[in-house]
Structure 1
């Protein structure tokens, strides 16, 4: 392990595109060095690393891994510690998301959705636990406002995110007092590129008290707050949804 980095270090899964990339940019701008995980988006990961290196040299480590491979996860933590000598934050952002209507769902879909949304966050937290305890660090899990409610045609995804919510609260107990564990539950922040799961986006927004979609920056700001500015907050799920969860 190298000498400890003078700056805090965050490991972000799925941190190269969409909301994950905005979380990465936000934490980097706040002074964090990053271990940036990707699955297939290697080119995007290196492009983002180059962008951030231009702002602060040698501040991003790219980690490629298949999160379904539990045996590979401790090595990603070890790679981070070898590079930086410390770990202050784990952001479990990577997520598979697609419909699995009852009657057509398969075991492969179950395994894929649970692997990214529940299994990998748990085993990454387990692998990162000693390093996070040493820095009195924090974990933030990106969940979903539907994890504790329901959305038609997505039962396996909802169950997997529900497991992540339960994990967030349980680990907040198990890892206290050294490590805080919280979740951020986005609402309508960034629509899927195929237009799903909402066929009528305007109808959904009409049921959102703030009357508009949020932005990835809204989610990233909540992540930064939980990591840096909320030392007495643990075991909580922060909804970033314009009030949608109170009107479902």
Structure 2
């Protein structure tokens, strides 16, 4: 029986690369998306061309509790098991202290912390049954105290704390770890100047930016490492050393 991975925010970038990586390993893929329906369907079609009926898509807004519950319910019906949950979906934008609103709080906490927590709660029994793995995607910049991102940092910091708490709470059946990406190559719709790139790379010991494949390969490593739990792995080219 093929194993199954559910990836939130899987239609683009890191989530998409994780989906393709695990599809190449023969896994079933549950592709969650919020608004990127075409990208999600295109990805599922690409996977199903090579491995028929192995990829399914589910829409859900992780800010909305009823959507999270529906994602849980529909995911359980897709395949026989759920072996890995990757909490990758994320909302990211600055919130200067003088401009913070309750709406900002609800949106950033919802997608980055509340949604993942209740998704784990809803899928806990399936993950225990499969002796599965949870991988939470956080951010290596949390330790830097980046100005104007207080809510986002609170949410991702909370997700790292949940990682450690649930590693104890769900042991020994479920492994829970986090991956903290550093600076990634810009998406196609964003153009960085050479000056901007040079400024970022100057603070990275490996002198290059990361890629989606770097994160997907780390997810693959974490899933295969059954004697590791409660860890936050920084994939940032050494930037967090400075």
CA contact (8 A) 1:148 1:162 kept: no
Q: Which residue of 1 aligns with 2:126?
A: 131
Match of 1:121 among 116, 136, 143: 116
Alignment of 1:3-22 (within 5 A): 6-22=1-17
Q: Which residue of 1 aligns with 2:222?
A: 226
Shift of 1:215: 0.8
Give the structure-1-normalised TM-score: 0.93
Aligned residues: 239
Match of 1:72 among 38, 43, 67: 67
Q: Which residue of 1 aligns with 2:57?
A: 62
Q: Deviations over 1:80-124 (max 9, x none)?
A: 221212100100000000111111111111111111110111000
CA contact (8 A) 1:22 1:216 kept: yes
Q: Which residue of 1 aligns with 2:96?
A: 101
1 CA distance for matches of 2:108 and 2:44?
27
CA contact (8 A) 2:60 2:70 kept: no
Structure 2 residue 171 is the aligned partner of structure 1 residue 176:
yes
Q: Which residue of 2 aligns with 1:47?
A: 42
1 CA distance for matches of 2:113 and 2:191?
25
Shift of 1:149: 3.0
CA contact (8 A) 2:204 2:237 kept: yes
Shift of 1:172: 0.5
CA contact (8 A) 1:70 1:120 kept: yes
CA contact (8 A) 2:176 2:229 kept: yes
Match of 1:190 among 185, 188, 192: 185
1 CA distance for matches of 2:177 and 2:191?
29
Shift of 1:14: 0.3
SS, match of residue 98 in structure 2: coil
Structure 1: gaps spanning 5 or more residues: 1-5
Q: Which residue of 2 aligns with 1:209?
A: 205
Structure 2 residue 163 is the aligned partner of structure 1 residue 163:
no
2 CA distance for matches of 1:7 and 1:75?
24
Give the structure-2-normalised TM-score: 0.95
Structure 2: gaps spanning 5 or more residues: none
SS, match of residue 66 in structure 2: helix
SS, match of residue 234 in structure 1: coil
Shift of 1:148: 3.1
Instruction: Name whichever of 171-180 and 184-193 sits farther off.
Output: 184-193
1 CA distance for matches of 2:156 and 2:69?
22
Structure 2 residue 25 is the aligned partner of structure 1 residue 36:
no
2 CA distance for matches of 1:195 and 1:113?
24
